[in-house]
Amino acid sequence: MEHLPQEIVLDILSRLPIPTLVQSKSVCRAWRSLIRDPVLVNNHFWRMVENDPSFILQTDHPVQNQLYFGDFSTDRNDGDVITTKLSMPPELNFHLVSSCNGLLCLRVSRGSFGLSIYNPLTGDYTELPKLTKPGYHEGVLGFGFDPTAKEYKVVEISYDRRPRSILLRPRGAASTSIEAAVHILTIGNPKWRYLGTMPFHLMSQRSQVLVNGQLHWVSYPDRCKATNLIIAFDLTTERFQEVPGPDCINMARRFDQLVVLRGCLAAASCHDDNEQLEIWVMLEYSVKKSWVKEFSIGTHVPQILQQNGYGSSNDPRLFLSKKCIRVLCLLRSGEILLEYRNKALVLYDPHCGTFKDLQLTFQGIQKRFEVVVHVASLNWIDSFVNT
């Protein structure tokens, strides 16, 4: 290969699976440098993005905090999805927070607040500086890439220790308004920066919702507004703003889940008296009129949940609470990947209105798991992908 132009070599390598590329780093220093070439990292990343989304699973059985990698690149026979056991990060006690450009943000499960960044396929790992927050407890976390400054950032929003009844009072009076302290860390810098406070009580979420260079959360309703709000944090300007939600949202119909579908912001909405889970998609970012209802998902109880006593799918009284169903991603086939009660993954076909329970090929799936959508990547915090 030394006689080939480097651009051809990099194009060839970008078509290889990551485990093969990681192994080749051990050949010599020249190969190690080649595998970290920004052109290769970018080309390989965008080839992976063009495929169906992958996912990372974290389980506590049979090994605590074991990570698995699953993808839809191979043919699925009878709903089987092959998962690969991943190497463990140096910190064994952690919680899976989010994924961005192939990097995982992990929260260390120790007494003090600690975070780390980990590429589970290359083994690259770094601990982040500690953040001291006297008088506050943790609220929500976000991890994303600033496309303007080409920097990774972590934002942490924490709330004071006042009772929830006080936190939900109107924002009009300063003495009773929500006080959320906002800190941000640019990865590579030694210290967190304090950005002040903001007046929203954000819901903790298990999905990374990064669209248009902004992280998104749903806020709890208060007495001034009886419906949820969509709050965005711009990673470039480091400011919060409200994003207009769909008109369907009112006191009877609410949403408490955001997701990214085809690169667009989407919201899952349910009605108090309706068993349908509706998915609304914002086709043009921040344009209220561009919200459209694209999917309506009916009742389904995965087989593994039926075995655990959640009832028969033929019993309409035992349909799962929509808060127990999480929308994960949209596949190229048009199928939607759903997660039920941290115990089951299901593909829903909106064209046929059918459900397919996925069988994951590792022991312990009958136990609880956490899952995040993930793009397999050679990327590291010093080799930025062009997003």
pLDDT tens digits, one per residue of 342-371: 888 999 999 999 999 988 766 545 567 889
Taking the chain, what is the end-to-end CA distance rounded to the nearest angstrom?
Answer: 30
Question: By three-state DSSP, how is residue 370 classified?
Answer: strand
Question: By three-state DSSP, how is residue 248 classified?
Answer: coil
Tell me how crowded residue 281 is: count the other CB atoms within 10 A of its CB: 20
Amino acid present at 228: N
Beta bridge partners of 259: 266
Q: What is the mean pLDDT of residues 159-180?
A: 50
Rounded Cα gap, residues 386 and 368, in angstroms: 35
Q: Which residue has the higher pLDDT, 151 or 16?
A: 151
Question: Please, which pLDDT band fits residue 317 given cuts at 50, 70 and 90?
Answer: very low
User: What phi-psi label fits residue 378: left (phi over 0), alpha (psi between -120 and 50 degrees) or beta?
Assistant: alpha
Instruction: Say which range, 141-155, 167-181, 285-299, has the weakest mean pLDDT.
Output: 167-181
Q: What is the pLDDT of residues 241-288, one digit of tens each?
A: 999 988 766 555 677 789 999 899 999 887 655 567 889 999 999 999
Rounded Cα gap, residues 60 and 296, in angstroms: 33
Q: What is the mean pLDDT of residues 90-100?
A: 86
Instruction: Say which range, 26-35, 80-89, 145-154, 157-166, has the weakest mean pLDDT.
Output: 157-166
Tell me how crowded residue 366 is: count the other CB atoms within 10 A of its CB: 12
What percent of the chain is predicted at pLDDT more than 90?
35
Q: Which residue has the higher pLDDT, 1 or 291?
A: 291
Q: Which residue has the higher pLDDT, 172 or 322?
A: 322
Of the CA atoms within 13 Å of residue 71, those in its CB half-sphere come to 17
Instruction: Tell me the pLDDT of the chain averaged across its residues.
Output: 80
pLDDT at 174: 35
Q: What is the mean pLDDT of residues 174-185?
A: 73
pLDDT at 173: 35
pLDDT at 79: 59
pLDDT at 149: 92
Rounded Cα gap, residues 380 and 2, in angstroms: 26
Specify whether the CB–CB gap between 46 and 39 falls below 8 A: no
What percent of the chain is predicted at pLDDT more than 70?
77
List C-alpha distances in Å: 307 to 10, 304, 312, 316.
Answer: 49, 5, 9, 17
Q: What is the pLDDT of residues 220-237, one digit of tens each?
A: 876 666 678 899 999 999
pLDDT at 134: 63
Q: What is the pLDDT of residues 197-223, one digit of tens each?
A: 988 889 888 777 999 999 999 988 766
Whole-model pTM? 0.85
Question: Please, which pLDDT band fits residue 196 given cuts at 50, 70 and 90?
Answer: very high
pLDDT at 209: 93
- The whole-angstrom distance between residue 149's C-alpha and the CA centroid of its chain comes to 22
Query: For the chain, what are the domain ranges?
Result: 89-205
Question: Please, which pLDDT band fits residue 153 given cuts at 50, 70 and 90?
Answer: very high
Angle (nearest 5°) at CA 192 between 239 and 182: 40
Of the CA atoms within 13 Å of residue 338, those in its CB half-sphere come to 31
pLDDT at 104: 94
